[in-house]
Every structure is written in structure tokens, then in C-alpha cells.
Chains A and B, each alone.
Chain A
Amino acid sequence: MSRARWLAPLSVAGLLLMVPAGKAAAHLDSTNGCKGSGTFREDGLFVDAETVGDDVVTIPRSDTVDWEGSVAAPPGDYSGNIAVDLPPPFGKLEIDSWSGTSDNTGNAGSREYDLPSLVPAGVEFKVIGSHTDQNGVCNGYVRMQIDGGPFDSPLTPISLVGTAGAGAGLAGVLRPLFRKVAP
């Protein structure tokens, strides 16, 4: 799967994390006054992390996102990353990272993306973002899922067949447990 195909929606998710320290949104923690938002052109979905809270954001499988983000003061030396949170003990899968030096306090752009059908729809995943600059840090996460049903991905029937196959094999191996025992 192309790394770039993941980047756009997840980068937008990362940008959405860069919001001011909204105490009502428990998953945000910012000391550098960062903020961000994104608009999905075809879907019309507008997402601002300040208002998202802990809601699950359902994104289309393909679209173009107009994004913008900013920090309160010139960042100077900065670095950050975006990652998908995996089940323990696997930690995080880093999607993108950045670093450099800048005096700009804001940025904006557009990004077209088209996630492959292999990526399952309707699965909630947590995207974690972190940005550090001379003025502080901005940490947080957003919960996302792709619009659609479980059978939009070929992985679902494969998993169901695997379940049936492993279950049948297990029943076969454990067949003596279901037999009558000698008195």
C-alpha cells in the first residue's frame, strides 16, 4: 500500500489535533496554542478538533481535503509525528513525521486521497499526533473510521473463512472430548 495514500487523511487527522488547550476535550493537551481544521470537498464534512471531542469522525474512502493549521507564535525549531495506535503490545505505527525550523505561524493546503479497498471500513482507529516547538507541545488524538460496511474490504470474508477453518480444525482435534467415555 502506498504510504502517500495513507498520508492525506491521517495528516488531516494529525492537523486536527493541533488545537488550543480545550479543557472540555479531554484528549487534547496543548501548551503552544496550536489549532487546525479540515474540510472534505465532496463529502462536505468539516472537522475541527476543538468541537470533535471524543466523537468518532467518519471519513469518506476518497476525497480532497482542504486543511489549515496554526500555532500561536513563531515555532522556531519544531518536530512532530502522526501515528496509528495499535493494540498492545504493538505500540504505534508511525505514518508521518516532520522537523525543521520556521518562523511561520500557519500553513494551509489541499490533499487528494484514495484509500485502497483493502483498508476495512467501519473500523474505529485512533490516530495520535504530537507537535513540539520552542513554545510548547501539542499532543492529542482523534478517533476515525472509514465510511462503509464490513464487506467493503476483502479482508472481512478472509477473516470469516479463517474463523470457520480454525474452528473446524479445533473441533476435529478436540473430538475425543465430545465422545462417550469408558465407564
Chain B
Amino acid sequence: MSVGRTIAAGLLGLLFLLFVALDLVFFGVVPLNSVLVTILPAVGLVLGLLAGILAGKRKPHPAQLPPPVVQSGNPV
């Protein structure tokens, strides 16, 4: 599991749903004092962290792995 990826996913999830909440306010879908403006960023943080953990646990398909490095043997 990559801690850096998890933290980045959490922060980006928070930012993403924070901006979505602002979009909803600016387009008049929800009022300024709506609790949704508070909840959405928190949900984004939690979902981002969870998705980051899942992404860190995923093993890449062998076809997507870089080719192994072959060391040329030095003749003794």
C-alpha cells in the first residue's frame, strides 16, 4: 500500500467534492447555508482515502509490468 497515494487521493477527493459543492451553490441548486456544502467535502475525503487504499493494493497486470532488466554477466 502506498501511503503517498492514499493521502493524495484523500486530499483530491476532498477538493473534488468541495468544488462540486461550490458548483451546486453557484448554479443555485442548493442554498449557501445547505449542510450539503459541509458534507460533500468530508465524503470526498473519506471516499478518496478508501479509493487510495484500494488503488495501492491493486497488483498491475503482468502485461503492464516493465520488462525485467537482464544483467549481462561479466566473464571471469
Contact = CB atoms under 8 A, between A and B. Distances in A.
Interface of A: 84-89, 120, 122-126, 143, 145, 150, 153, 155-156, 159-160, 162-163, 166-167, 169-170, 173-177, 179-182
* Most central of A120, A125, A160, A170 by chain B CB within 10 Å: A170
Contact of A177 (B22, B27, B31, B54): B54
Interface of B: 5, 8-9, 12-13, 15-16, 18-20, 22-23, 25-28, 31-38, 48, 51-52, 54-56, 58-64
A179 B64 contact: yes
Contacts of B20: 163
Given A120-B26, A123-B25, A174-B55, A88 B38 contact: yes
B13 to A, nearest CB: 6
Given A122-B27, A160-B23, A175-B55, A166 B12 contact: yes
14 contacts: A85-B32, A87-B32, A87-B37, A120-B25, A124-B31, A125-B32, A126-B32, A162-B15, A163-B20, A166-B16, A170-B12, A174-B52, A176-B60, A181-B59
Contacts of A156: 23, 26-27
Label chain A's interface by main secondary structure.
mixed
Contacts of B48: 170
Nearest to B48: A170
A100 B18 CA distance: 42
A181 B28 contact: no
Nearest to B60: A179
Contact of B64 (A89, A143, A180): A180
B58 A179 contact: yes
A173 B52 contact: yes
Nearest to B47: A170
B16 A123 contact: no
B19 A163 contact: yes
B31 A173 contact: no
B19 A166 contact: yes
In the complex, the 5 A-B pairs of residues with the closest C-beta atoms, listed nearest first: A163-B19, A166-B16, A124-B31, A87-B37, A180-B61
B28 A145 contact: yes
Given A170-B9, A170-B12, A173-B12, A125 B33 contact: yes
Contacts of A89: 38
